[in-house]
């Protein structure tokens, strides 16, 4: 195994600091809280922590709105706390990768405060300013420079009355987009990144990095005049994206070994992902693609629902495994801080909670690529039954709610959609204990704890054979022990059932066969043509731990890994 490509055999764990562990009773997770839980991560066996933003921020989008890239937000702690955490992680052999949010800043960042102060300010061009549409009344819907719809509802443009121009914000109006066309701005970002690497961090997860280069013509999206249209094809994957990533490589990463880079790329295609992660091009180690987390999105909005069909998930995973088989590298994930909980979304969190959580983990961790575990996923945390709109915290959900209600929708129905797909599902506190506050805080948590912490918590799972936690631990250990898990080739094996995901992994003399029943009913798996002797092969791992695995009969969500 080459040391240079260490990240190919690594498992990454995402910490969303606000919801991980509070150490001082203010109800908000913090750096000292993470420090106190490093034993959990070491026990799980992960190699890397990806730390969601801890920089100074007004917290409009929980830290994805940064007002100072080089300070720690006081709510999370101090630089002394940060250095202690970095050191504590490194002493345990765990690296730390920082979140890098440079498509936009907070509107409270000094760069933006300067930029908005006058048209002639030297930082004016660090953001994206445009005149109102000619002949329109500035401030009125329809006078925005383009008709693009924001990720967080409404227009992507906000009128700034100081100068009468609009600024672009693909996300909330408090998250103005940086202008990557500006050389000085890019140089400032690279210098900031170098200072973090000098401090000892091990790489970056780059927030919406495929949005930093926009179509310089700023065309309208096709669509009705008075409603906002989908401008994605104009603001994503712009003409200079590859150039910027290569420049960043030269300016920031050249001469530094052992770094990990992963670019978050909503809407990225397999062809594009292959190019971004082709080592010859010196851009990124891997990207987060979004295909499988869009399978249940309806037309036009994530809040519109389209039920998953059996086999959809397996088909999508297979597409990506096949596409990046020769060139490039996949990241693998079931969830993150923007997604609902996978056991509730893809599994069966009522009848087959443990079985479906472990089956989903098995099919993910047995693929080729670098797996990412989102905090709480390793104990099978579920969606939260948000009872009322007052229990919601997420800016995306709250903006969506107010836009829909203004447009005449029923609050009850909007809340139903948010409960299913909203980001707050991922953001309830990690459930460490059975105490009503889950061991997360001794104060008032900033967002409610899921009441199921009474039985669903880490303490109840440590050392318990077959628990979700112990299953994740086994999967990670298997990846570290057997090079075939991280590096082997992937080949899907067809069976006659849509609910079954079966595949082969192969590296030199080693062959693994993974078979999972991704449904809540008993299923027969017929492999008599392809692998007639499979049922007498060595069973390496199973999520039904009763030792009763019986050949081709698969019980609900039964997942097995055989070694040939």
Q: Which residues are catalytic?
A: 207, 264
426 binds ligand ISL (CB under 6 A): no
Give whichever of 208 and 499 is closer to ligand ISL, judged by the CB atom. Answer: 208
d(CA 105, CA 305): 31
Question: How many residues of this chain interact with ligand ISL, rule: CB under 6 A?
Answer: 14
462 binds ligand ISL (CB under 6 A): no
Can you tell me which of 22, 30, 144, 338 binds ligand ISL, judged by CB under 6 A? Answer: 338
User: Which residue in 260, 319, 207 sits closest to 11, CA to CA?
Assistant: 260
Report the partner that residue 190 touches, choosing among ligand ISL, Ca ion, none (CB closer than 5 to 8 A by kind): none
Can you tell me which of 6, 151, 462, 535 binds ligand ISL, judged by CB under 6 A? Answer: 151
- Burial class for 528, CB neighbours closer than 10 Å (0-12, 13-18, 19+): exposed
454 binds Ca ion (CB under 5 A): no
- Burial class for 547, CB neighbours closer than 10 Å (0-12, 13-18, 19+): exposed
Helix, strand, coil distribution of the chain in percent, nearest 5:
30, 15, 50
Give whichever of 263 and 445 is closer to Ca ion, judged by the CB atom. Answer: 445
Min separation Cβ 488 and ligand ISL, Å: 30
392 binds ligand ISL (CB under 6 A): no
d(CA 279, CA 261): 12
φ, ψ (nearest 5 deg) of residue 374:
-90, 135
- Scan residues 162-181 and list those touching ligand ISL (CB under 6 A): 171
Cα 258 to Cα 42, 51, 88, 245: the distances in Å are 20, 17, 18, 18
Give whichever of 57 and 370 is closer to ligand ISL, judged by the CB atom. Answer: 57
d(CA 150, CA 349): 32
Give whichever of 264 and 504 is closer to ligand ISL, judged by the CB atom. Answer: 264
349 binds ligand ISL (CB under 6 A): no
Task: Say which residues have a Cβ less than 8 Å from residue 316's Cβ, sequence separation at least 6.
Answer: 291, 292, 295
Report the partner that residue 338 touches, choosing among ligand ISL, Ca ion, none (CB closer than 5 to 8 A by kind): ligand ISL
396 binds ligand ISL (CB under 6 A): yes
DSSP 247-269: HHIIIIITT--S-EEEEE-TT--
Min separation Cβ 55 and ligand ISL, Å: 12
Can you tell me which of 75, 98, 206, 208 binds ligand ISL, judged by CB under 6 A? Answer: 208
30 binds Ca ion (CB under 5 A): yes
Min separation Cβ 26 and ligand ISL, Å: 22
Cβ atoms 136, 143 nearer than 8 A: yes
Strand arrangement of the beta sheet that strand 165-168 belongs to: 129-130, 165-168, 157-160
Report the partner that residue 479 touches, choosing among ligand ISL, Ca ion, none (CB closer than 5 to 8 A by kind): none
d(CA 148, CA 241): 20
Biggest CA–CA distance in the chain, Å, is 77
35 binds Ca ion (CB under 5 A): no
Token pair recorded at residue 195:
């200072």
Report the partner that residue 24 touches, choosing among Ca ion, ligand ISL, none (CB closer than 5 to 8 A by kind): Ca ion
φ, ψ (nearest 5 deg) of residue 168:
-85, 135
d(CA 552, CA 534): 9
Can you tell me which of 22, 47, 61, 73 binds ligand ISL, judged by CB under 6 A? Answer: 61
DSSP 222-254: SS-SSS-B--HHHHSS-TTHHHHHHHHIIIIIT
User: Which residue in 43, 73, 69, 74 sits closest to 56, CA to CA?
Assistant: 73
207 binds ligand ISL (CB under 6 A): yes
Min separation Cβ 95 and ligand ISL, Å: 20
Give whichever of 394 and 504 is closer to ligand ISL, judged by the CB atom. Answer: 394
Mark residues 11-50: x for contact with ligand ISL by CB under 6 A, - for none: ----------------------------------------
Give whichever of 341 and 423 is closer to ligand ISL, judged by the CB atom. Answer: 423
Residue whose CB is nearest to Ca ion in the complex, by number: 30
Beta bridge partners of 93: none
Beta bridge partners of 492: 503
Can you tell me which of 16, 64, 127, 557 binds ligand ISL, judged by CB under 6 A? Answer: 64
φ, ψ (nearest 5 deg) of residue 500:
-95, 130
Report which DSSP code applies to 506: E
- Only segment of 21-29, 137-145, 230-238, 241-249 that touches Ca ion (CB under 5 A): 21-29
Report the partner that residue 283 touches, choosing among Ca ion, ligand ISL, none (CB closer than 5 to 8 A by kind): none
302 binds ligand ISL (CB under 6 A): yes
Alpha carbon 57 to its chain's center: 20
Token pair recorded at residue 46:
């992960």
Give whichever of 74 and 255 is closer to Ca ion, judged by the CB atom. Answer: 74
Min separation Cβ 294 and ligand ISL, Å: 9
101 binds ligand ISL (CB under 6 A): yes
User: Which residue in 326, 327, 328, 339 sits closest to 291, CA to CA?
Assistant: 339
User: Which residue in 490, 489, 492, 493 sits closest to 508, CA to CA?
Assistant: 489
Can you tell me which of 27, 36, 58, 266 binds ligand ISL, judged by CB under 6 A? Answer: 266
**Which helix (H) or strand (E) is 355 found in, with range?**
helix 353-365
Min separation Cβ 19 and Ca ion, Å: 11
232 binds ligand ISL (CB under 6 A): no
- Only segment of 28-36, 240-248, 395-403, 432-440 that touches Ca ion (CB under 5 A): 28-36
Binding interface with ligand ISL (CB under 6 A): 61, 64, 101, 151, 171, 207-208, 264, 266, 302, 337-338, 396, 423
Binding interface with Ca ion (CB under 5 A): 22, 24, 26, 28, 30
């Amino acid at each position: 195994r080459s040391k240079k490509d260490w990240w190919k055999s690594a498992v990454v764990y995402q910490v969303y600091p606000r919801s991980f562990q509070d150490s001082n009773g203010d109800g908000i997770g913090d750096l000292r809280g993470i420090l106190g839980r490093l034993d959990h991560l070491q026990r799980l066996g992960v190699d890397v922590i990806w730390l969601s933003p801890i920089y100074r921020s007004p917290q409009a989008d929980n830290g994805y709105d940064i007002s100072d890239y080089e300070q720690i937000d006081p709510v999370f702690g101090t630089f002394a706390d940060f250095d202690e955490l970095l050191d504590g992680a490194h002493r345990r052999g765990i690296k730390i990768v920082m979140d890098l949010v440079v498509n936009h800043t907070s509107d409270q960042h000094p760069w933006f405060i300067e930029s908005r102060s006058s048209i002639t300010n030297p930082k004016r061009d660090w953001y994206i300013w445009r005149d109102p549409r000619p002949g329109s009344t500035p401030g009125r819907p329809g006078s925005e420079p383009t008709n693009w719809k924001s990720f967080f509802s409404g227009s992507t443009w906000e009128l700034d009355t100081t100068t009468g121009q609009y600024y672009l914000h693909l996300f909330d109006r408090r998250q103005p987009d940086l202008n990557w066309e500006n050389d000085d701005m890019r140089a400032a970002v690279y210098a900031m990144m170098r200072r973090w690497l000098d401090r000892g961090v091990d790489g970056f997860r780059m927030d919406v990095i495929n949005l930093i280069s926009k179509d310089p013509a700023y065309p309208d999206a096709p669509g009705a005049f008075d409603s906002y249209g989908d401008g994605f094809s104009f603001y994503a994957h712009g003409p200079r994206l590859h150039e910027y990533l290569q420049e960043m490589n030269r300016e920031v990463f050249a001469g530094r070994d052992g770094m990990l880079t992963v670019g978050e790329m909503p809407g990225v295609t397999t062809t594009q992902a292959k190019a971004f992660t082709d080592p010859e091009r010196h851009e990124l180690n891997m990207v987060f693609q979004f295909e499988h987390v869009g399978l249940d999105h309806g037309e036009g909005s994530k809040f519109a629902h389209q039920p998953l069909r059996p086999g959809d998930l397996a088909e999508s995973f297979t597409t990506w495994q096949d596409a990046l088989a020769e060139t490039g590298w996949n990241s693998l994930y079931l969830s993150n801080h923007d997604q609902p909980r996978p056991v509730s979304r893809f599994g069966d969190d009522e009848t087959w909670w443990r079985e479906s959580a472990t089956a989903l983990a098995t099919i993910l961790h047995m693929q080729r690529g670098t797996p990412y575990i989102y905090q709480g996923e390793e104990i099978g945390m579920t969606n939260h039954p948000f009872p009322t709109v007052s229990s919601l915290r997420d800016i995306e959900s709250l903006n969506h709610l107010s836009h829909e209600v203004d447009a005449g929708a029923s609050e009850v129905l909007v809340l139903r959609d948010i409960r299913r797909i909203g980001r707050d599902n991922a953001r309830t506190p990690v459930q460490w204990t059975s105490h009503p506050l889950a061991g997360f805080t001794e104060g008032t948590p900033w967002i409610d704890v899921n009441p199921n912490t009474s039985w669903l918590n880490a303490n109840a799972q440590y050392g318990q054979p077959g628990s979700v936690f112990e299953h994740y631990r086994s999967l990670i250990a298997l990846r570290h022990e057997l090079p075939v898990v991280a590096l082997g080739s992937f080949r899907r094996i067809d069976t006659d059932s849509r609910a079954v995901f079966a595949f082969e992994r192969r590296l030199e003399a080693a062959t693994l066969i993974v078979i999972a029943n991704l449904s809540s009913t008993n299923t027969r798996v017929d492999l008599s043509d392809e692998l007639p002797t499979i049922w007498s092969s060595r069973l390496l791992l199973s999520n039904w731990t009763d030792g009763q695995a019986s050949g081709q009969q698969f019980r609900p969500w039964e997942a097995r890994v055989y070694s040939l």
